Amino acid sequence: MTNQQYAEMWKDLGLNLEKHDVLLNALAKGYGDLFMTQKNRPAGMGYFDFVISEVHGLRIKELVDRKKAGKKIIGAFCLYVPEELVYAADATMVGLCGGADFSIPDAETVLPRNICPLVKSFFGFKVGATCPYFNSCDMVVGETTCDAKKKVYEVLADYTPTYVMEIPHKVDTEQSKALWLSEIKLFKQQMETLTGNVIEKDSLKEAIRLINEKKKAMKRVSDTRRASPTPISGLDALLVNQMSFYDDVNRFTLKTNELADELEKRNADGVGVGDPSKPRLMFSGCPMAIPNWKLHSIIESTGVPVVAEESCIGSRYFTDLVEPKGDSMDSLLEAIWDRYHNISCACFTPNDDRVTKVVDMAKEYNASGVVYNVLQYCHTYNIEAIKVDKALKKAGVPMLKVETDYGSEDVEQIRTRVEAFTEMLSPV
Ligand code: BJ8
């Protein structure tokens, strides 16, 4: 279908069609310039090119069709929202984090300027009526992670039904476990009330399986990037991770496994992208919500591949699985807590687990250095960079901290810093 044919659907969703057109054109151009000009891409990326070309079209139509069939769509902004419970209630979850500069002026008509761009971006998509995912949601689920997010959810509630989960910040205490488990149970009830479906053990087990399979496929793709030359660019791998928050789960898993098959074959044949004599960089820090391709594109424009992402749009999402130890509903819910409290977001304190994970990952992926991404005004990731830097130094892995937003003003300055950083690195 063409954009013209989708216009009626977008109108019914309440989008500002004029602004939305500008956004789509900018997205198509940015994608063409960054992704389609890459050399020697895996054939399996063709599927993801198609998905992105239809990201506001076919996929939204699927969601709208589900809504017409009485199913619910849930929007989330953080990995801590247990998607297994959403799917167990026969609802669909989509990620709503914003990665575009485009929506920030709309956000700034309401919010203060000096807050994180990710938060401003998603809020701007809602107030500017330019995101069909946001407008498809029957409910959005926030969480008490960073200050910017939790306060913005209060304001967002004036625009859309918003539910907030309380996420404890000290994770390794009995009190924290009790609070978190009770929040998971409350969320289960919330899903049951919204959908009218009681979550039974079998549906939850099936949802756990569904999401675990998706994460295993993503981990397979990620694992192939340990090879030198890396079989896929960091940009393409990032895109796969970003699409995991939008695409139909079964189809995404199938296509990601097919991509992993191809990448494993490439590794066996010694086929890759980029020059294996160059250093390899690992990315760490704040998430890069779609269409934030800024740092990856800058780094890879210098001829240096990004080989891993320690990020929520990356390893923090797919590394751990929900692994129930028993068959009761309580065991299933405890397994969900167990997996989710292991996502080491910088909002936790203390957060030594993340520091260890970053160092381990840099070694596993043979990274010559780490580029640490801080989104402007993200205090948690910014301050945690001190400990990460210290631990990486001790392990002999240099780190470059880049604090940036979604604008293009600092692109050349970052490129110069990345070039200077990689010049002093030796290939691993
Ligand atoms: S689990 S990283 S998705 S909270 S970048 S909005 S922290 S000021 S996105 Fe996150 Fe969940 Fe943590 Fe992951 Fe705030 Fe920082 Fe902005 Fe952030």
**Are 185 and 227 in a shared domain?**
no
**Are 159 and 302 in a shared domain?**
no
In the reported structure, the alpha carbon of residue 73 is separated from the centroid of ligand 1 by a whole-number distance in angstroms of 22
Give Cβ neighbours of residue 291 (< 8 Å, ≥ 6 apart).
Answer: 27, 30, 31, 99, 100, 242
Residues with a CB atom less than 6 Å from ligand 1: 78-80, 116, 118-119, 145-146, 148-149, 286-287, 312, 343, 345, 347, 375, 378, 380-381
428 within some domain: no
Cα 414 to Cα 34, 77, 373: the distances in Å are: 17, 27, 11
CATH of the domain at 158: 3.40.50.11890
**Domain final residue pick, 175, 199, 223:** 199
How many Å apart are CA 296 and CA 284, to the nearest integer? 11
160 C-beta neighbours (distance < 10 Å), count: 15
Atom 12, ligand 1: residue with shortest CA distance = 345
Atom 13, ligand 1: residue with shortest CA distance = 312
To test the pocket of ligand 1, the residue of 80, 118, 164, 313 to mutate (highest count of ligand atoms within 8 Å of its CB) is 118
Judge contact between 173 and 180, C-beta under 8 A: no
**What is the pTM (predicted TM-score) of this model?**
0.97
**Are 155 and 248 in a shared domain?**
no
Secondary structure E strands in 155-293: 162-165, 281-285
Per-residue confidence of the chain (428 residues) as pLDDT tens digits? 677 789 999 999 999 999 999 999 999 999 999 999 999 999 999 999 999 999 999 999 999 999 999 999 999 999 999 999 999 999 999 999 999 999 999 999 999 999 999 999 999 999 999 999 999 999 999 999 999 999 999 999 999 999 999 999 999 899 999 999 999 999 999 999 999 999 999 999 999 999 999 999 999 999 999 999 999 999 999 999 999 999 999 999 999 999 999 999 999 999 999 889 999 999 999 999 999 999 999 999 999 999 999 999 999 999 999 999 999 999 999 999 999 999 999 999 999 999 999 999 999 999 999 999 999 999 999 999 999 999 999 999 999 999 999 999 999 999 999 999 999 997 66
Which ligand 1 atom minimizes the distance to the CA of 286?
5
**Are 148 and 260 in a shared domain?**
no
**Are 219 and 119 in a shared domain?**
no
**Are 400 and 356 in a shared domain?**
yes
CATH of the domain at 243: 3.40.50.11900
Name the residue range of residue 170's domain.
4-199
If one counts the domains in the chain, the total is 2
Which pair of tokens denotes residue 351? 């957060």
How many Å apart are CA 1 and CA 54, to the nearest integer? 9
